[in-house]
Amino acid sequence: MTSLMWQDGRFVTDASVSAFSHAVNYSCGVFDTARLYPTTEGSAFFRLDDHLRRLFSALDSVGFTTRFSPAQVKKAVVQLGRKSGLTSAYVRINAFLPQEQLRVYPEKRQVSLAMVIAPLHYSGKTFESGLMAHVSAFRKASQAAIPSGIKFSANYLQSYLALRQARAAGFDEAILLDSRGFVAEASAQNLFAVKNGNLWTPSVQSEILPGITRDSVIRLANDLGMRVKEADASVKQLQTADELFLTGTATELMPITRLGRRKLAVGPLTRTLKAAFDDVVHGCHGYSKKWLTYL
């Protein structure tokens, strides 16, 4: 990668880690991401404080420590944004154990923090084309096995396997059920459905990551007078939805235009919410002031 990076307090052109680090041996690390948008008052990160809060709470939940405070990491992300000269970009923050430790339970638990800023590479899928998805044969691990609320690198094995299967079958995305058989989420996106003018999304009990974009969309929908039900939902409810869309930092708000063999149109509620979301991230909404960190 030739993009601008930061590692443990220094701007670098290449961040590195030993092949025998605990991070590589056992995929033990947490990460988060954030998105930089162009606005009328310059570039701004969307809900950066919330992304950092989630990163630090993930570190806490797995018992890893860092010598950096959230304020120091925030300052570094903002500096990285400024230095990059980019107006539309994606930042990835990795926190991992860099020490060479050949045992599963690491004695040293202070992480190395590395971040990179890069323009987003689009897959060619647009809001109008939407994504083709299917219901995956792979399920989410139960909360009792792997807590889904933590962005732990190892959690993404199930996403990788599900995506691999989806791509082989000609789909862009996989929708995973939770360990009980209810609809959970896609590989790295939350799921919303519209039925008879009302929205539903799997609840946080359904082994999902409670996404920051999901939270933003729920608030925008409520403000627009739409009812959002957070509940367990069956595959049948998914298959009979009028509209389906995914939400995530990288994906933003993206319609599903095919579920298995069934085609779906990009519906009116999806369009209204996407327009409101675009207004927020580009600085033209009442929420922009509180949700944007300007460079």
Catalytic residues: 151
Shortest Å distance, C-beta 18 to ligand PMP: 26
188 binds ligand PMP (CB under 6 A): yes
Task: Determine the Cα–Cα distance for residues 211 and 253; give it in Å rounded to an integer.
Answer: 12
Cβ closer to ligand PMP: 23 or 217? 217
Cβ 292 to ligand PMP, closest distance in Å?
Answer: 16
Q: CB–CB of 194/217 below 8 Å?
A: no
* In the block, residue with structure tokens 């033990």: 28
190 is an interface residue for ligand PMP by CB under 6 A? yes
Which CB, 213 or 270, lies closer to ligand PMP? Answer: 213
* DSSP SS3 for 16: coil
Minimum distance, C-beta of residue 200 to ligand PMP, in the bound complex (Å): 16
Q: Using the rule CB under 6 A, which residue among 201, 247, 270, 293 binds ligand PMP? A: 247
- Residue 22: which of 83, 86, 108 has the closest Cα? 108
Q: How many residues bind ligand PMP (CB under 6 A)?
A: 12
- 21 touches ligand PMP (CB under 6 A): no
Q: Which of 172, 178, 185, 243 binds ligand PMP (CB under 6 A)?
A: 185
Angstrom distance (rounded) from CA 63 to CA 61: 6
- Residue choice 134, 214, 258, 274 for contact with ligand PMP (CB under 6 A): 214
E strand or H helix that includes residue 220: helix 212-223
Q: Residue 13 burial (CB < 10 Å; 0-12/13-18/19+)? A: exposed
Which DSSP letter does residue 111 get? P
Where do the DSSP E strands lie in the chain?
Answer: 4-7, 10-12, 29-39, 42-46, 89-96, 112-118, 131-139, 173-177, 183-186, 190-195, 198-201, 228-230, 243-248, 252-259, 262-263, 292-294
Q: Is 213 in the site for ligand PMP (CB under 6 A)?
A: yes
Stretch that binds ligand PMP, among 102-110, 233-241, 246-254, 276-284 (CB under 6 A): 246-254
Output the smallest distance, CB 107 to ligand PMP, in A. 29
Q: Which residue is nearest to ligand PMP (CB)?
A: 211
Q: How far is the CB of 209 from ligand PMP (least distance, A)?
A: 4
* Closer by beta carbon to ligand PMP, 47 or else 99: 47
| Count of other CB atoms within 10 angstroms of residue 148 | 23
- Write down the least CB distance from residue 3 to ligand PMP, Å: 20
Q: Which is nearer to ligand PMP, 189 or 288 (CB)?
A: 189
| Residue 173 or 185 having the CB closest to ligand PMP | 185
According to CB under 6 A, which residues from 248 to 267 bind ligand PMP? 248-249
DSSP lists the bridge partners of residue 281 as none
DSSP for 199-215?
EEE--TTSS----HHHH
Alpha-helical (H) ranges within 92-188 are 156-168
Nearer to ligand PMP by Cβ, of 106 and 248: the residue is 248
Q: Residues in the site for ligand PMP, rule: CB under 6 A?
A: 185, 188-190, 209, 211-214, 247-249
